[in-house]
Amino acid sequence: MDAPFTGSVFLGMSVDGFIARPDGDLGWLTGGDEAGGPPDDGAGGDFGFAEFVSGIDALVMGRSTYGVIAPLAEWPYQGKPVHVVSTTLEPGADDRITVHRSFDEAVAALTAAGYRRVYVDGGRLVHTFLAAGLIGDLTLSRVPVLIGEGHTPFGPLPADVLLEHVRTQTYAAGMVQTTYRVR
């Protein structure tokens, strides 16, 4: 599928590749903070998350991810259009977001809006965008913990997705963050 935008991924995950426990719990990732992003690096940093968000035009996320982000006291995406793919969320339920009923509807809207770089968040949605060939880069932050089971953005794909290593950074807390470009 061709689209004039690049899908970009920025995910925190366990060393064994999970982004959430089977029940959706993120406590192991956030250190109890329900921010949905990587924990603070101990030096007041956010592992590059704010810089990443500043470089995107819009976000698209799945319903489950929205459910984690929505109740936060501070909306982390100020000034960025946020699109949510959901068959259950009512349009207009939250004036901070635009609801789309399907992946195809969301891609059409993102394309029509003329966005160039779109942050794709949420395990199932990242997998769908990968399978459709709409991801251009992935930043994966591996937290030093094994949780054994849970949700993963990876799984069966119609073809291999070849990656080119861009950079790897390590942090004092033991997290290893690697960025790849899709070839």
Question: How close are the terminal C-alpha atoms of the chain, in Å?
Answer: 15
Residues 6 or more apart whose CB falls under 8 angstroms from that of 137 comprise 6, 8, 9, 166, 179, 180, 181, 182
Name the stretches of the chain with pLDDT < 50: 32-44
Residue with tokens 């192991």, as numbered in its chain: 28
Query: Is 98 inside any structural domain?
Result: yes
Query: Is 121 inside any structural domain?
Result: yes
CATH number, domain with residue 133: 3.40.430.10
Query: Is 1 inside any structural domain?
Result: no
pTM, two decimals, is: 0.88
Say what the pLDDT of residue 45 is: 63
Q: Could you tell me the residue range of the domain that residue 72 belongs to?
A: 6-182
Query: Is 166 inside any structural domain?
Result: yes
Say what the pLDDT of residue 3 is: 62
Chain centroid to Cα 100, Å, comes to 17
Tokens of 113: 């809006």
Query: Is 165 inside any structural domain?
Result: yes
Say what the pLDDT of residue 14 is: 96
Query: Is 12 inside any structural domain?
Result: yes
Say what the pLDDT of residue 2 is: 56
Other Cβ atoms within 10 Å of 116 Cβ, number: 10
Query: Is 79 inside any structural domain?
Result: yes
Say what the pLDDT of residue 125 is: 96
Structurally, how many domains does the chain consist of?
Answer: 1
CB 15 within 8 A of CB 141: no
Query: Is 42 inside any structural domain?
Result: yes
Question: Taking the C-alpha atoms of 66, 180, 33 and 94 in order, what is their torsion angle to the nearest 10 degrees?
Answer: -20
